[in-house]
Amino acid sequence: MFIRPPLPQPKQAWLWQAPYFAIGAFALAMLLITGLLQWREQDTAQSALEGDMHWAERTIETRLQGHQEFLNELARDQEFRQLTYESYQVRAARYVQEHPELAAIIWVSTEGKVEWVAPHEASAAFVGEQLEGVRQLALEEALRIRSPVFSGDYADSTQRRTNDLIVPVRRGGSDLGAFVAIQSLETLLRVTLPGTFTTRYSLTVVDANDRQVLANSSIQPTDRRLSGTISLDLPNNRLGLNIVAYRGGGAWLPFVPVLLILALTVIVAVTLVQLRRHAQRRAETEEQLRAAYAFRQAMSNSLITGMRAIDLEGRITFVNAAFCRMTGFDESELVGIKPPYPYWPPEEFEQLQYNIDTALAGQAPATGFEMRIMRKSGERFDVRLYFSPLIDANGAHIGWIASMNDITERKRERVELERAHERFETVIDGLDSAVHVADTQSGEILFANRAFQNIFGFDTVGRDSAMVTASCRPAPEWLNHDPRTLPPEALPCELFDGEIQHALSGRWYHLHERAIRWVDGRTVRVQIAADITERRHIEEVNLQQQKRVEQTSRLITMGEMASSLAHELNQPLSAIANYCAGCVKRMQAGNYRFDDLLSAMQKASDQAERAGKIIRRMRDMVKKSDPVRWPIAVTALLDEARAFADIEAQRSGTQIIVDIPDNLPNVVVDRIMIEQVLLNLVKNGIEAMNDVPFDRRRLLVQARQVDNRMIEVAVIDNGHGLNEDDMERIFAPFYTTKPEGMGIGLAICRSIIEFHQGRMWAEPRHEGGTAFRFTVPIEEEQ
């Protein structure tokens, strides 16, 4: 069925005599073909040997490169102080266990002394051991060139040939030591190269001087052999691997085909007469065969599914054009071959052989086999192969027909989708914030990460979100929108952003909730809850600390003004004493009038009230209380602050000038705190003008409305001013330009203004001095 019919031939009588004359040419041609086949066999064997050599070279170098990359990872962690002895033991011991050719991984000092050994039970090296010979020379070379080095081979304690892979470690400009991987060459070849390779070839390892280092003797030499050499380029070391393949058979084997050709020639001559008789009968059926073959070929070539037929032994008897396009092989390269097929990747041999054995046994699954095969160019791709029995015209089972579909793209898309989903779940589960997704209509929880399940329980998916999150859930009236009524074009939409305390645990969470479109098209609520309990606790502690610092600042300010306040209090107290003494004397003398006594006592009462106000201001300034913001006029704030500042101004000869418009609105502030800011700024301005002439000691206090939200207050002096460096750091805590200053006054002032949602800054003046400005909020009309 699968044999191509011959082309139609014209009926000529002399053609019947042609076979007799062709017998001689046939014999000569066969002898020539035999020679060519033997030459091709020799060339194919040499090509196969070269291919195996290159494969072995890549395999060994890849294995060694993997060891070097692992040591480089340890070196980077050691360089940045991220490698502890315990983590070194775990990682290195696991790596040595997975790579049998490695006896141990050690850490040596720059002098070659062994400090760490992993695994710790390894007998290849011991802590405190000193590297010697070629090992010490290789270590010194690695430290000198600052690159990985393979040492020369040496005999270990079991007399096996061994070498070291040395990776130096530096930090800054100095050497710290080196990581050394001790590996056995014999084990490396045994592990890296498969058993079929080592049993097929005779292997010999030689160094750069062609000195034999290692050899296997499992192959018996014959008269027919092929050989080659692999050069392994290792850092600072060069090894060669000689490969010899001995072929079976003796020297007489090439003459066997010649004898067979001669014998066949005789047989052909004898049977030619019989074939001539049979030829006429065959000619009658050829036309029918050509027509049937042409129809079947046209039908199979029009398919996009690859078709392949095999006989009961697995030999390929037919492939269509689609199958050839998929594999890249021509029909002539596939038809007639048995497993393993040329489009089988070497790494899939065992699985593909199992599949073909299962199919030949009639046990192929109805869903087919999913497998990976190889194009002629070496490119791998995934296919699904379906097997069906092949029945001839007599009803006999003659083989199997297989249809093959390329599923590479579909499988890649499925794998990428699975990986993307896995990455998404890994990232979401790794968050500290609790994340869950719930249906807006039914409330069913569709997804919840690990943090959410830790807070609300491990069986939350599929349950009602309102019931699960009842202890920490915003009220419906707090939401910006009702998610159940949102149209699709309004998505995504923010629903809530705020802080809520967990009703059961008492912990605080910052909730951010949005409405989005889910993967199946429905509207869902996505909620992210971040635990802010520690942050709120820190904020409360900082607020209490700020209050204590402000209280301390006020006490320091009042301590500095104690002498001035005593002088201020001395005047009303002295006046009271004088008025009272005068009244006593007049009453004792009996020479008085009631109106005079009443006037004197009224004046004494006024002076006592004046002294009481001074004492009350001091008490309000230093007492400890929570901030309370009330509407107050700016002029009232300045009057209270000037009651203290005028004492210091009079003593230093400073004139305080107030420039405030009459129509300024009230501000909403804590009176004591803002008075403290004003008093601190005025006091600093007075002290800044101690070294200027008396006629220039003028301190200007201004206020103006910036916009409909803020009023700006400025305290401007004519002092020595601040340089650029001081201007940038003047508000930093504990930074001061005064010889005896503490450096906390301006920092506290800025904190007070920021507490009032204002801003405080300093500006240099061209004519000399500094302007300190701050803003405070205006009272709202409602």
In this structure, of 456-470, 629-643, 681-695, 696-710, the range with the lowest mean pLDDT score is: 456-470
* pTM value surpassing 0.75: no
Please tell me the predicted confidence (pLDDT) of residue 567: 46
Strand, helix or coil for residue 131: coil
pLDDT in tens, 696-717: 888 889 999 888 888 999 999 8
Please tell me the predicted confidence (pLDDT) of residue 564: 46
CA-closest candidate to residue 472, choices 430, 500, 437: 500
Taking 90 as the threshold, does the pLDDT of residue 537 lie above it? Answer: no
Please tell me the predicted confidence (pLDDT) of residue 1: 44
Q: Does residue 673 or residue 554 have the better pLDDT?
A: 673
In this structure, of 196-205, 566-575, 639-648, the range with the lowest mean pLDDT score is: 566-575
Q: How far apart are CA 136 and CA 158, in angstroms?
A: 20
pLDDT in tens, 68-92: 888 888 888 888 888 888 888 888 8
Tell me the CA distances in angstroms from 122 to 106, 116, 202, one per residue in order.
10, 11, 31
Tell me the CA distances in angstroms from 771 to 423, 498, 774, one per residue in order.
57, 39, 10
CB 651 within 8 A of CB 687: no
Please tell me the predicted confidence (pLDDT) of residue 712: 93
How many CB atoms within 10 Å of residue 781?
Answer: 6
Distance of alpha carbon 264 from the chain centroid: 72
In 421-474, the DSSP E strands lie at 434-439, 445-448
Tell me the CA distances in angstroms from 403 to 80, 342, 635, one per residue in order.
57, 18, 97
Taking 70 as the threshold, does the pLDDT of residue 580 lie above it? Answer: yes
Q: Does residue 243 or residue 556 have the better pLDDT?
A: 243
Distance of alpha carbon 277 from the chain centroid: 81
Q: How far apart are CA 661 and CA 665, in angstroms?
A: 10
